[in-house]
Amino acid sequence: MLKIGLTGGIGSGKTTVARLFREHGVPTIDTDWIAHQLVRPGQPALEALIDEFGPGILTPAGALDRARLRAQVFADPGKKARLEAILHPAIFAEMERRLARLQAPYCLIAIPLLVETGARHRVDRVLVVDCPESLQIARLRHREGLDEELIRRIIASQATRQERLAIADEVVTNDRDLTALARQVAELHRFYRRLSAERTDP
Return the number of the residue (12 or 28) whose C-beta is nearest ligand ATP: 12
Q: Given the rule CB under 6 A, which of 14-22, 82-90, 91-99, 163-171 is the region that contacts ligand ATP?
A: 14-22
Q: Does 13 bind ligand ATP (CB under 6 A)?
A: yes
Least distance (Å) between residue 104 CB and ligand ATP: 22
Q: Given the rule CB under 6 A, which of 5-13, 62-70, 73-81, 190-198 is the region that contacts ligand ATP?
A: 5-13
Among residues 4, 159, 168, 181, the one that binds ligand ATP under rule CB under 6 A: 181
Least distance (Å) between residue 140 CB and ligand ATP: 7
The residue count for the chain: 202
The strands making up 125-130's β-sheet, listed across from edge to edge, are 28-30, 106-110, 2-8, 125-130, 170-173
β-strand pairing of 125-130 with 2-8: parallel
The one-letter amino acid code at 165 reads L
Q: Which of residues 112-171 bind ligand ATP (CB under 6 A)?
A: 112, 139, 143
Least distance (Å) between residue 145 CB and ligand ATP: 11
Among residues 152, 178, 187, 199, the one that binds ligand ATP under rule CB under 6 A: 178
Q: Does 43 bind ligand ATP (CB under 6 A)?
A: no
Buried b (16+ CB within 10 A) or exposed e, 47-64: ebbeeebeeebbeeeeeb
Instruction: Residue 116: count other Cβ atoms within 10 Å of its Cβ.
Output: 15
- Concatenating the DSSP letter of every residue in 35-100 gives HHHHTSTT-HHHHHHHHHH-GGGB-TTSSB-HHHHHHHHTT-HHHHHHHHHHHHHHHHHHHHHHHH
Q: Given the rule CB under 6 A, which of 52-60, 90-98, 176-184, 189-197 is the region that contacts ligand ATP?
A: 176-184
Residues that bind ligand ATP (CB under 6 A): 8, 10-16, 112, 139, 143, 174, 177-178, 181
